[in-house]
Structure 1
Amino acid sequence: MNAILCLALGLLATATLCHGQCMTAPLRPDPATGKLPKGCRDDKGVLHPFGSRWNSKDCYDCSCDRSGAHCCNLVPTYFGLPESCKVVVNKDCTHKLVNTKGPDSDCVPQSAVI
């Protein structure tokens, strides 16, 4: 029994690490009608129908279902980077690590969370 509990806790911890920068915005009933919306609204107020998927301007991969909008960051947060390194994010949410000291210097993080 203890082995099963330890395995379950280990799997939960792994899932948390894999989705460290995700969030959910639950659907809320319309205050006037009490009805749930027919989809999820993004930060610009655009309605996305149930079952749809989109990328936000802040580089989050989002999806909509009847429980709400679920968004996860597309760009990792790096830890332990040298001070001369920075993360450059493009408009299409691709990114790269750049060392301001020049291309011969490495930018190796100690860890990252997506």
Structure 2
Amino acid sequence: MFSLLKEWYHKFPLYISPPRRSASCRLPPYWKPFNPARMKTFLACLLVLAISVTLSNASCLRVPMKTGKFGHAILGCTDFEGKLHKFGSQWKTKDCMDCSCSREGIGCCTSYMTPVTYDSEKCESIFNKLTCSYNVVEKADHSKECPVFEWVG
């Protein structure tokens, strides 16, 4: 695979051809030809980014701003319940979502973590809407909490 990338890199170089200069003038690093160490570093960073994106589990949504009719001023965002919020304001919904209003629209994200890795045969997760959090307790005795090894959100 590395040789394929090297071949592609030489066909489509990612550097700008340097202007004509005297021999004593040094070129900036991005004008140098193919550098295997730089390519390996780039691929390592790309791999880390790809892994982190697949492991993330964000629950967010964005609703773009609807344009108003001609002659009407837009004062803010109208949420899912029909309530008007001023630009720059933030609020929490009854479904435990943290929302904000901007000129681009409404952005909402969950405000809680969801348990993923725990003993599901012995324990169960219960969502508390008052505190917007999960409690992981034993199925037989809800007064005993269970250990959670991984949370997402």
- 1:27 and 1:36 in contact (8 A); partners too: no
**SS at structure 1 position matched to 2:85:** strand
Matching residue of 1:25:
63
Give the unaligned 5+ runs of structure 1: none
Q: Which residue of 2 is the match for residue 93 of structure 1? A: 132
Matches within 5 A, 1:19-98: 20-30=58-68, 32-33=69-70, 37-81=74-118, 82-83=120-121, 84-98=123-137
For residues 33-63 of structure 1, what are the alpha-carbon distances to aligned partners after superposition, in whole Å with 9 as ceiling and x for unaligned?
A: 3867321121111111111110011000111
Structure with higher Rg: it is 2
Q: Amino acid of the residue matched to residue 25 of structure 1?
A: V
- Which residue does the alignment assign to 1:106? 146
| Larger strand percent | 1
How many equivalent pairs are there?
Answer: 112
Q: Matches of 2:83 and 2:76 in 1, distance apart?
A: 10
CA distance in 1, matches of 2:78, 2:47: 34
Shift of 1:72: 0.8
User: What whole-Å deviation, never above 9, does each CA across 1:52-110 have from its counterpart, x for those lacking one?
Assistant: 1100110001111111111110122332441431223132424422322224462425x
**1:42 and 1:13, CA in 2 relative to 1: closer, same or farther beyond 3 A?**
farther
Q: Which has the higher contact order (CA 8 A, sep 6+)?
A: 1
Which residue number in structure 2 is paired with residue 7 of structure 1?
A: 45
Q: Distance in 1 between matches of 2:100 and 2:51?
A: 23
Identity within the alignment, %: 31
